[in-house]
Amino acid sequence: MCVSRCLRCVGVSLVPLATVCILSNILLLFPELKIHFLLDGHVTREATWVPGLWGSGLLVLLGARAFVRSSKTRGCCAFRSEMLCQVTYSCVCLLAAGMCCLVSATGLVQGPLCLYNTSSGSTWGVPLKPTADQDAGYLYNSSLWSGVCLEPRGVVQWNVVLFSVLGGASGLQVVLCGANILNSLLGLILGQGFCNNKVSPVSA
């Protein structure tokens, strides 16, 4: 059955993407793989919101589990009832993944929180943050990646790579959940066997 196969494929595909989101968000919390930056409050704000853990991670994993389990549902009424639940699950997962993608894009554009030099000495802040006279051009100017932030070392590259991975993975989740909404609606309206309908040959 097309609907059941699609549900299973989406559920299985979401698992590695959710795992990538969880790992990326955890790594964002530990620049230089050291915990003291997190304890001292010197971690990029968007990373501390942990959208990759609760959004594209836990919620999407729960949705993926529901998609795989519902793909085994049999019976017309039970199947349509399950498809209605899957539409709801898919919408929740889509919103969670979309929120994670948006937060990741914001973190990427804003730049990392780091220690940098100012006219009054070294201070913690977001030196690459877009302003009225400065956009997010640091993303296209790699010379700024190692010349602005003093601590944590390599934090710009760290944030650019991990926020990009987090945003890309959650973006794929949005696409898959959107496709699953359409798939579940088809199952709700047409039933589980619409792909199996065949035209019988006309007997002479």
The model's pLDDT over 38-85, given as tens digits with 9 standing for 90+, comes to 999 999 999 999 999 999 999 999 999 988 887 666 656 666 787 888
- Does residue 204 form part of some domain? no
pTM reported for the whole predicted model: 0.84
How many Cβ atoms sit within 10 Å of the Cβ of residue 73?
A: 19
Q: Please give the mean pLDDT across all residues of the chain.
A: 85
- Does residue 135 form part of some domain? no
List the beta bridge partners of residue 151.
Answer: 115
How many Cβ atoms sit within 10 Å of the Cβ of residue 30?
A: 16
Higher pLDDT, 27 or 83: 27
Q: What is the CATH number of the domain that holds 159?
A: 1.20.120
- Does residue 57 form part of some domain? yes
Average pLDDT over residues 150-167: 93
- Does residue 134 form part of some domain? no
- Does residue 131 form part of some domain? no
Q: Residues with Cβ < 8 Å from 92, sequence gap 6 or more? A: 59, 63
Structural domain span for residue 43 = 2-125+149-196
CA-to-CA dists, residue 44 to 22, 129, 163, angstroms: 16, 11, 11
Q: Which helix (H) or strand (E) holds 116?
A: strand 114-118
How many distinct structural domains can be found in the chain?
Answer: 1
pLDDT of residue 1: 52
- Does residue 153 form part of some domain? yes
